[in-house]
Structure 1
């Protein structure tokens, strides 16, 4: 849920902090008071396109910040944040966006700088905003298949997972076949290039880890004098009269003389003896290393030449000799595939035909499950529409099979189905695409009926209705009020409304007002108490003048709302 919203220097709002509660919160007030501006701020926090025009006149930037509390540990927003490296702790997500007067926008999620695209991806899991003319999700037929799949829940999800496992193998094979059936001239050029690369690598006769081994040898020869001097000085420091080993030997002899007197002296004697013999072994190793040292200019020249040759290949084919050899094996396989193209194509096509049979079975299973849920969805939406006094409206989910050509099915990541919602609002009229039918008032009710169903399956934390009740009155207004309240039982709902019936259903009622001080307009938000609710709902019923009779009507509305909520 959206717990707190802070706005600074945004449109006509100078500075405003609003706390929100669970359930249904309505925002009311005079036209132009700033209700939609608050929704615009939330929209921008969720990744909507910004503009310098949003910055309050005379200010350098607008600042927006929203605190969201996520109570569900399995909410998909956690995975989305993890994908983008955003840390989420204590179930809190803070979205922040600064808009400058120059048009630049800075976005942050939990303090981490992000792009607007990332803000939008995370925001879509937190906020769902709907207005009378802002129903893109439901009005865009491309989204209908995803909404149906969300409605289908785990059963559809598991069927899609089984389908996608086979589809992944199908796509891999299809790419291989497409590569082998490329333009013959391009294939010939590719073969020439690969053969040249293979010949170049093979002629070098590389050995595993050769670059590392030769580089180590080169380092030794290049630093011959330095190594020789260091070994010579080290050996001389250990061997000879009054040198290191000589003095350690003296120490060993002296301590050995008293080593049998007590346990501690015996341990000291043994420790010095161990050190002496260890140093003696090391001195022999140093001497052997000295005797094996050899400066060979010819060998150094060979190493430098060979390493240059190897580095030339590494620049082209890999960062190490082992990577170059791996690349060689890979292109050798590709050369074999191209040279024996017909044979490989035959085998790949045979494998593809087999997978297509499995894919068709999985795709039909997905379609079957979708159609079964489409029937249930249709019944539920008819029920919702009836409750909104649109009982003569017909809703239908229509399916088509995606086609590559007249006789060939097209398989995609979402299956073979094209799904679109159709509706007829008047008896005798044919079903038409949802995006091409319905008046403003009808569209609001259709959207609300569908949202009341889909909101239970989408996991959105906050749903915002921006004047979706425009164009209705009477019993329809009461039905809409009850429907919006029902949606708020599963998600936090914020609703801008001009209907007293909707306002009466609110768990929290916020009044938006504007005033002019020192020649500047400012917006304020005030939570209303019981008496203030009565007066505001009375204003919504009667207009400017609130009479005692209007107040009684408002009290009656609140009483009816309380009854229907319980």
Structure 2
């Protein structure tokens, strides 16, 4: 459940801490006092769309924080564990800051998280039902989600299997379409690939060839300087009075010294080693100098070869290795295109198998939806009878899709989308003798409120959220219908925490906790305050809701009667 909500610098709220209890909590107050603003704050806390307009004028940021208690089996725990967030003492603290620059900072239990993680976690904790959900009920494309949620675990698991197969199916379908491209385009592509392969093969490239050629060109271009430096080095080492003569003399002296002092043996060995290394280097220099030849023709050949490779690089890669890799790639493509008919046949066979698997899963989904639709219809009708729509009829219409990815069979075709092959629509007849029609065409505002509440009453047991929030679901109703709605909302709250903004005194009377929202001025600024009320103050607030303006003895008496009746209903429940 949501235990506490803290709001700072949000819209007309300066600073507010709201405690929430178990069961049914109602929020009442004059229109414009800020009741819906509190719900907006909760909506943002669980990942709703933010706006700089929410930041109180003149402030740098708005801050919203909520403390939730969850049990050990709550599905949000797995989400939090996957995100590396620890849950201690069953507490989850969501926090969201919105700056006056439009930036949003999200935290869960003090750890920075993305908005996506906050939204995924938040929406598993709170379900907000407001006017937008009335609109969703009017949108047939949303009905399949409602039905699937009601159908539960078995359909969910089947749907996940279906989605996996649907991805395979669409991938194969795209691949087949690619293979079936225009034959002229394929022929042109083959001609172009052949030209590229011929050009690369004619060059007879060798891996690393360009690097070796650049090295050889550098040597040939500097051959005179190289000859001079190598010759000078050799002459410095070898000849009368040169380095090797002096090294030999040093070696002779060190031998005599080592014969006298054994500690000099290592030094003597080092001098011997140095002498032989110098001698070997001198011989190597002499051989290299003798082998040096300046060949202007070879330099021209290298330049021509490098220019040829340079042209190929401009077309096919930055190095000889990349050019050769490109050659292998287009050679493979050429093989595929050459064997196009075989590939098409192979892909068609794979697609047929995938389509059969997909249809089998889709058929299972359809069967489960038919079963769930019948059960949902019966439950909704039962709930609506308790809400004084006892003549209402409902049918969950499950029919074939008309748009989507299709597969042609020998005796027809099947159309799929990522939810199966079904289109789901709720049909209603609100009065006796009327034909079933799409919901949007038959229900009034008050009827939609009752239908939505009936749906919520049924679906609340399948959602696992900790808190349900109803934002003025009682719009357009009064009298005995209002009393029925009050009892229905209370019934939902027995199994889970319910927060409800209401203008109906009947709903307020059923509350376990009553929060009064008030707007007042402070230092020429409007602020919203929230305070719990009970006893006489609660009776006075219900009396105000009854009268609309002035509290009279009669309205106070009616309020007390409502409260007494509510207690009797609760006791029976």
TM range (shorter): 0.7 to 0.9
The C-alpha deviation readout for 1:139-177, integer Å capped at 9, x for no partner, is: 322121122222222211232233334333322221111
Map Cα deviations across residues 517-536 of structure 1 (whole Å, 9 max, x no partner).
33332211011234433333
Equivalent of 1:426, from 428, 431, 446?
A: 431
**Residues 319 and 13 of structure 1: CA distance in aligned 2, closer, same or farther (over 3 Å):** farther
The residue correspondences of 1:479-490 to structure 2 (distance < 5 A) are 479-490=484-495
Show the counterpart of 2:350. Answer: 351
What are the within-5 Å matches in structure 2 for residues 373-384 of structure 1? 373-384=372-383
1:446 counterpart SS class: helix
C-alpha distance in 2, partners of 1:93/1:75? 15
Change (3 A) 1:197 1:482: farther
Matched, 1:18 2:26: no
Among 538, 542, 545, the residue aligned to 1:540: 545
Q: Verify: 1:494 aligned to 2:499, yes or no.
A: yes
* Partner secondary structure for residue 21 of structure 1: coil
Question: Is 1:148–2:147 an aligned residue pair?
Answer: yes
Are 1:553 and 2:558 an aligned pair?
Answer: no
Quote how far apart the aligned CAs of 1:97 are: 3.8
1:514 shift after superposition:
1.9
| Separation in 2, partners of 1:309, 1:81 | 57
Q: Tell me the alpha carbon deviations over residues 186-215 of structure 1, each in whole angstroms, 9 at most, x when there is no partner.
A: 43454455556656776777889x69x989
The within-5 A match list for 1:70-109 is 71=70, 77=76, 87-90=84-87, 92-98=92-98, 100=100, 104-109=102-107
Q: Distance in 2 between matches of 1:442 and 1:376?
A: 21
Partner of residue 563, structure 1: 571
1:134–1:418 Cα change, 3 Å:
closer
Q: Which runs of 5+ in 2 are unaligned?
A: 220-225, 230-246, 266-275
- Tell me which residue corresponds to 1:514: 519
Residues 1:494 and 1:551: Cα distance change in structure 2 (over 3 Å): closer
Cα 1:41–1:289 change in 2 (3 A) is farther
2:508, 2:428 → 1: CA distance? 30
Cα distance in 2, alignment partners of residues 150 and 291 from structure 1: 89
- Write the distance in 2 (CA, Å) between the matches of 1:183 and 1:465: 57
Question: Does 548-557 or 30-39 show the bigger shift?
Answer: 548-557
Q: 2:280 and 2:23 mapped to 1: Cα distance?
A: 85
CA contact (8 A) 1:515 1:521 kept: yes
3-state SS in 2 of match to 1:135: helix
CA contact (8 A) 1:501 1:557 kept: no
CA distances 1:294-313 after superposition (whole Å, capped 9, x unpaired): 999999998xx99x969986
1:529 aligns with 2:526: no
Shift of 1:137: 3.2
Asked if the contact 2:468/2:499 (under 8 Å) is kept, the reply is: yes
- Shift of residue 93, structure 1, vs aligned partner: 4.6
CA distance in 2: counterparts of 1:96 and 1:50, whole angstroms: 10
Aligned length: 516
Worse-superposed segment, 190-199 or 356-365? 190-199
Q: Aligned residue for 1:365?
A: 364
Equivalent residue number for residue 274 of structure 1: none
Match of 2:40 in 1: 40
The equivalent residue for 1:281 is none
The Cα offsets for residues 428-478 of structure 1, whole Å up to 9 and x where unpaired, read as: 222222233311111100000011122322333432211111222333222
Q: How does 1:384-533 map to 2 (within 5 A)?
A: 384-403=383-402, 407-533=412-538
Q: State how far apart, in whole Å, the 1-side matches of 2:280 and 2:511 are.
A: 92
Contact 2:467 2:498 in 1 (8 A): yes
User: Larger deviation: 187-196 or 287-296?
Assistant: 287-296
SS in 1 for 2:530: strand
1:157 and 1:118 map into 2 onto residues whose CA distance is: 21
Quote how far apart the aligned CAs of 1:72 are: 5.1
Does structure 2 retain, via aligned residues, the 8 Å contact 1:478–1:502?
yes
Encode CA deviations 1:470-507: one digit per residue, 9 max, x unaligned.
Answer: 22233322221222123234443210012222122223
Contact 1:385 1:393 (C-alpha < 8 Å) held by counterparts: yes
Contact in 2 for aligned 1:173/1:348 (Cα 8 Å): yes
Tell me the CA shift for residue 106 of structure 1: 2.6
Q: Cα offset for 1:132?
A: 4.2
Contact 1:25 1:508 in 2 (8 A): yes
Q: Is the 8 Å Cα contact of residues 400 and 418 (structure 1) preserved in structure 2? A: yes
Which residues of structure 1 form unaligned runs of 5+? 226-235, 254-283
Map 1:176-195; keep pairs closer than 5 Å.
Answer: 176-192=175-191, 194-195=193-194
Structure 1 residues 315 and 159, CA gap change in structure 2 (3 angstroms): farther
Distance 1:542 1:403, change over 3 A: closer
* SS of residue matched to 1:344: helix
Q: Would the aligned equivalents of 2:515 and 2:530 in 1 still touch at CA under 8 Å?
A: yes
Deviations 1:360-407 (A, max 9, x none): 222212211111111111111111111212111111111221246894
Q: CA 1:99 to 1:440, structure 2 compared with 1: closer, same or farther past 3 Å? A: farther
Equivalences for residues 311-350 of structure 1 within 5 A? 329-350=328-349
TM-score relative to the length of structure 1? 0.74
Sort the Cα spacing of 1:168 and 1:560 in 2 relative to 1 into closer, same or farther, 3 A: same
Query: Alpha carbons of 1:54 and 1:71: their partners in 2 closer, same or farther (altered >3 Å)?
Result: closer
Contact in 1 for aligned 2:506/2:562 (Cα 8 Å): no
Kept in 1, the 8 Å contact 2:12–2:34? The answer is yes
Whether the aligned pair in 2 keeps the contact of 1:422 and 1:432 (CA below 8 Å) is yes
